[in-house]
Structure 1
């Protein structure tokens, strides 16, 4: 059931800035310009657009909390949705690997994840969008991938390359090879040979990628690349139609994306931590240079909210500019013109934040409550 309410007294973040003691109404799942239904006093709270998380894999801990422990995959997706809602996320892209790495990243696990998302999407409140992260050296999978993407209703595919090419070229085994092989259910020597074989066929990849990207584009699938390292990398992916640059590793790659009008996604944990855990380009520096369109949760769902608030507190951006990176920016990147800002006629995706603690008090997605806790619940139920 969708709400019919007028929220008043809170500080409402409009596209032009913060409206102190503002008023916003919800009716029919949308934000409306005219008052609607009962009035709810939200003085002491911030009323913000719901977070659009453009890339996150934090759901893995719910789907497989311990090896072999989770057999009901759909229940794991439902649990993940609850965590998303508790962190103010109203639209979430669930980024699932399709990789030679196996285990939680293997093709078999990916199939189960996408089927589970399909099974529960209609029964949860948060809008869940699947993303497939494809390892580009899996040449045997190219011929069937587009059909699988269509079957799983995946609207967004990103390309990865996690092969340790430098070590493979030198004939050296990568660190942690044995553990990685065992997670994938392979003999370590078989796993090692598989890596060497994929590396040896690397010259076949570019042509196959060109054809695969064309197939996916014909299905209206959004395409992106992951971990661009240079302007040349970005140019190659752009030529293939993979316009989104996820987590560029260098300023050069981010600048090349911006110059060409390609959207750039950075990780919000990078902002919260004050730098990349892998030593890549600092998200804060890239944001300061205007080289970011969207901040993603990456592996930690509380981080988009925390990152946007930190950017505001630091003075690097005002609240409207900082919050745009977790709401309107991601929505635009995904082609979701119906959300991302609190304007009449758009989806009622709303995050109610306690001004003192800056904790999430309530989350409303499409006019329906997905999360509510504490004192604010009494105001809604009074």
Structure 2
């Protein structure tokens, strides 16, 4: 198969040309237009590597589209997969929360989530490649036991460790914490006060011991690890000492810069880029990009935000990054973080996971997606 008349977004430049695909891989590239009959005409749009998503909770909204409403698992998985592919995501780590005492429904659905992801992949029911990201809420007595139940699954490609107790990390501003959780769980003021106290107590009792034990087991299994919401240099140093390779959502410029210096790839939410800032009142992703310390974008809760984030960082009035630099945030850099060496760039011998993007009235849209050379959107 040949794709021609496209702007190829390579690692360091954009070149107008053509690609030849065979057996699921890129076999040759050209800086000229192909004259071969039957070649796919990209009409001058931008051809990028398939996007790699490391942290998304998107699957949950399809399993439970409304409170107390459960959806059939394979139907939910299909709808989730369709949205991801339509957003240009060809590799995804579906994030599942372990030890999440804030939401009982997540715990009830956990086995169902994981079994559906694993079974869907084995039966080739998805268009994107789905892997697993275990999000470990460390301030809970059940977290290590739940982690040990799933850590041997070959689909587990990333483990992150997080503590959402009030007064630190994501929620240094306790008022932001109260606004978020009181609204989410519809708590009265007295119920919210009791909730806060309980989370602080759990964090003090379990967080450090669980963090250390889970990291020890990840090192034994050679599973990449991510910190979450580091706010200080001390947080970052602890993450480095424990062997983490990704810093998810650092909340300050200080923590992001130190993470970058120590070799942790800094991951921020693409919705943060699109919206212009953090909904928790923490550092803006575009600010980290301007300092040169933004490495990876995640769609988090909104899959199309990856393409929108690329657009905001490279094509709008800020022009913080070049287009190749912005594209690497969702392709090459996340691939490198997980040692997925067969994808993430447009180069001979790499997987033919590709996204063709265009602009309509100044907004980016996904026109076509190929995974391993097969058109899936």
1:214 partner SS: helix
2:376 partner SS: strand
| CA deviation after TM superposition for structure 1 residue 198, in Å | 6.6
| 1:362 matched residue in structure 2 | 368
| 1:379 matched residue in structure 2 | none
For residue 354 of structure 2, the aligned residue among 350, 354, 358 is 350
CA separation of 1:48 and 1:175: change in aligned 2, threshold 3 A: closer
For residue 223 of structure 1, the aligned residue among 222, 225, 231 is 225
Q: Deviations over 1:163-186 (max 9, x none)?
A: 23589xx9xx96687776689xxx
| 1:61 matched residue in structure 2 | 61
| 1:308 matched residue in structure 2 | 310
Alignment of 1:249-260 (within 5 A): 249-260=251-262
Alignment of 1:276-291 (within 5 A): 276-291=278-293
Separation of aligned partners in 2, 1:7 and 1:200: 55
| 2:108 matched residue in structure 1 | 108
| 1:159 matched residue in structure 2 | 161
1:329 aligns with 2:330: no
1:240 aligns with 2:242: yes
Is 2:139–2:210's contact at 8 Å kept on the other side of the alignment? no
Task: Give aligned pairs, total.
Answer: 357
Unaligned runs of 5+ in 1: 372-382
Q: Deviations over 1:234-257 (max 9, x none)?
A: 111221222310010001110110
| 1:46 matched residue in structure 2 | 46
1:338 aligns with 2:339: no
Separation of aligned partners in 2, 1:201 and 1:316: 38
Is 2:26–2:348's contact at 8 Å kept on the other side of the alignment? yes
Is 2:2–2:20's contact at 8 Å kept on the other side of the alignment? yes
Separation of aligned partners in 2, 1:346 and 1:356: 30
Q: Deviations over 1:247-289 (max 9, x none)?
A: 1000111011011111110111111111111111111110011
Unaligned runs of 5+ in 2: none
Alignment of 1:111-190 (within 5 A): 111-121=111-121, 122-151=124-153, 153-164=155-166
| 2:11 matched residue in structure 1 | 15
Output the TM-score relative to the length of structure 1: 0.85
| 2:21 matched residue in structure 1 | 26
| CA deviation after TM superposition for structure 1 residue 111, in Å | 2.0
1:32 partner SS: strand
2:152 partner SS: helix
Is 1:160–1:226's contact at 8 Å kept on the other side of the alignment? yes
CA separation of 1:339 and 1:193: change in aligned 2, threshold 3 A: closer
CA separation of 1:140 and 1:274: change in aligned 2, threshold 3 A: closer
CA separation of 1:197 and 1:131: change in aligned 2, threshold 3 A: closer
Separation of aligned partners in 1, 2:183 and 2:7: 51
Output the TM-score relative to the length of structure 2: 0.86
2:115 partner SS: helix
CA separation of 1:8 and 1:137: change in aligned 2, threshold 3 A: same
Is 2:50–2:90's contact at 8 Å kept on the other side of the alignment? yes
Separation of aligned partners in 2, 1:317 and 1:255: 17
| 1:262 matched residue in structure 2 | 264
CA separation of 1:151 and 1:37: change in aligned 2, threshold 3 A: farther
Q: Deviations over 1:204-243 (max 9, x none)?
A: 5323421221112212221111111111111112212223
1:81 aligns with 2:85: no
| CA deviation after TM superposition for structure 1 residue 10, in Å | 1.4
Q: Deviations over 1:126-149 (max 9, x none)?
A: 011211111111123324522322
Separation of aligned partners in 2, 1:312 and 1:178: 37
CA separation of 1:13 and 1:202: change in aligned 2, threshold 3 A: same
Is 1:82–1:370's contact at 8 Å kept on the other side of the alignment? no
CA separation of 1:174 and 1:338: change in aligned 2, threshold 3 A: same
Is 2:289–2:321's contact at 8 Å kept on the other side of the alignment? no
1:79 partner SS: helix
